[in-house]
């Protein structure tokens, strides 16, 4: 059995920054500090930070007054931001700068009185944060599928769209195409909202799966970009499994298989990939190949007050 490792894979710049912010805040203020929502969607990362003194909460009203609160990499609505200010929290915002860019885009377009459409997955925290950037009586309309686009009713020509950062590049293209057909004057974001890390990891898996029989994706169930990686292999009619670590591997998945592909979502640490490689070597893998891919050099520094 041969193991092919996708490149790039694993941590992106936004995840690196968010984790570093929690660690620095713990050093600076001491435990406990409160993190609103899982700082990144990965069980291993969240458990590590819990063991260092981070407390994860879903709602700001779970946080005592005057404590340190960190917003997760997925971003928050203006209402959540205000709630944290109202309890006198010391706030550190770990929202990925590429999500903040989408928030700014929504605000800018609404100032121009545009109807803004967001392509994204209902209920995902990033989507809730982006929908929550609206002010006054303006709203952002969410679409998830081409049929959602068919049901949209907008009577003005001033329309823009924006997207969640971690979507399937291919599915989003279809939705954008449907939007353009229905609203020929619709304005696109200045630069694609699907982030570089999502795009690169999807491209890498597409190429990898040309030569693999099965794909293992390190990533948690609630990680949007990890789920999209699994879907790519499935669409190529190859079995694919999302795993949090080696305990989730069912040996039958790789029995009699010639080539196994391994990748990791943007919130899954490399240490878990290495454990999977060791596990596959134990199960009879004879060769491990790092497939070459796009080099990433994006870095987002932590805010000055945490440096
Ligand atoms: S996946 Fe993209 S948008 Fe999300 S944290 Fe990473 S770089 Fe930022």
Of 60-64, 189-193, 209-213, 275-279, the poorest mean pLDDT is in 189-193
pLDDT beyond 90 at 91: yes
Each residue's pLDDT tens digit, 216-244: 999 999 999 999 999 999 999 999 999 99
Instruction: Determine whether domain 13-97 maps to CATH 3.40.50.11270.
Output: yes
Q: What is the CATH number of domain 98-194?
A: 3.40.1010.20
Q: Who lines ligand 1 at CB under 6 A? A: 12-15, 73, 96, 98-99, 165-166, 195, 197-198, 225, 266
Number of Cβ within 10 Å of residue 76's Cβ equals 28
pLDDT beyond 90 at 21: yes
What distance in angstroms lies between residue 223's CA and the mean position of ligand 1's atoms? Answer: 11
Q: Which fold has domain 2-11+195-290?
A: Cobalt-precorrin-4 Transmethylase; domain 1 (3.40.1010)
Beta-carbon-side half-sphere exposure of residue 222 (alpha carbons within 13 Å): 15
What distance in angstroms lies between residue 101's CA and the mean position of ligand 1's atoms? Answer: 11
∠ CA 61-29-78 to the nearest 5 degrees? 35
| CA distances to 1, 68, 266, 292 from 260, in Å | 7, 44, 20, 16
Q: Which ligand 1 atom is nearest residue 166's CA?
A: 1
Exactly one of 20, 23, 59, 126 is catalytic; which is it?
126
Active site (annotated) includes residue 275: no
Non-local (6+) Cβ contacts of 188 within 8 A are 160, 161, 176
Number of Cβ within 10 Å of residue 289's Cβ equals 11
Tokens representing residue 216 in the block: 């293992």
CA distance 52 to 95: 21
Mean pLDDT across the chain: 97
Q: Which ligand 1 atom is nearest residue 97's CA?
A: 8
Same fold for the pair 2-11+195-290 and 98-194: yes
- Give residue limits of the domains in the chain: 2-11+195-290, 13-97, 98-194
Mean pLDDT over 91-101 rounds to 98
Q: Which ligand 1 atom is nearest residue 73's CA?
A: 5
Beta bridge partners of 4: 261, 289
Each residue's pLDDT tens digit, 59-75: 999 999 999 999 999 99
Beta strand 33-36 pairing with 68-71: parallel
- Report the phi/psi class of residue 71: left, alpha or beta, with left for phi > 0 and alpha for psi in -120 to 50: beta
What distance in angstroms lies between residue 295's CA and the mean position of ligand 1's atoms? Answer: 16
CA distance 237 to 90: 49
Non-local (6+) Cβ contacts of 99 within 8 A are 14, 73, 74, 75, 126, 129, 130, 165
Tokens representing residue 133 in the block: 């950037």
pLDDT beyond 90 at 137: no
Query: What is residue 156's predicted lDDT score, i.e. its pLDDT?
Result: 87
Q: pLDDT class for 136, splitting at 50, 70, 90?
A: confident
């Amino acid at each position: 059995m041969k193991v092919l490792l996708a490149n790039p894979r694993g941590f992106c710049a936004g995840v690196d920054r968010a984790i570093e912010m929690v660690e620095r805040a713990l050093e600076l203020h001491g435990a406990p500090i409160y993190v609103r929502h899982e700082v990144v969607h990965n069980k291993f990362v969240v458990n590590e930070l819990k063991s260092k003194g981070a407390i994860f909460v879903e709602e700001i009203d779970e946080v005592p007054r005057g404590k340190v609160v960190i917003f997760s990499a997925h971003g928050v609505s203006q209402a959540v931001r205000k709630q944290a200010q109202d309890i006198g929290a010391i706030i550190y915002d770990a929202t990925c700068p590429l999500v903040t860019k989408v928030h700014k885009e929504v605000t800018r377009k609404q100032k121009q009185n545009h109807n803004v459409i967001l392509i994204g997955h209902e209920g995902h925290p990033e989507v809730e944060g982006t929908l929550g950037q609206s002010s006054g009586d303006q709203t952002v309309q969410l679409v998830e599928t081409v049929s959602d686009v068919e049901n949209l009713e907008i009577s003005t020509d001033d329309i823009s769209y924006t997207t969640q950062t971690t979507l399937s590049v291919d599915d989003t293209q279809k939705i954008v195409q449907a939007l353009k057909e229905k609203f020929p004057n619709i304005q696109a974001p200045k630069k694609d909202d699907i982030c570089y890390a999502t795009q690169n990891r999807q491209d890498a898996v597409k190429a990898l799966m040309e030569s693999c029989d099965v794909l293992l994706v390190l990533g948690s169930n609630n990680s949007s970009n990890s789920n999209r990686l699994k879907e790519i292999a499935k669409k190529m009619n190859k079995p694919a499994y999302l795993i949090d670590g080696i305990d989730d591997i069912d040996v039958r998945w790789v029995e009699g298989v010639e080539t196994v592909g391994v990748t990791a979502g943007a919130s899954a640490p490399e240490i878990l990939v290495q454990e999977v490689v060791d596990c596959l070597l134990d199960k009879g893998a004879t060769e491990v190949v790092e497939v070459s891919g796009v080099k990433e050099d994006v870095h987002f520094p932590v805010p000055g007050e945490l440096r």
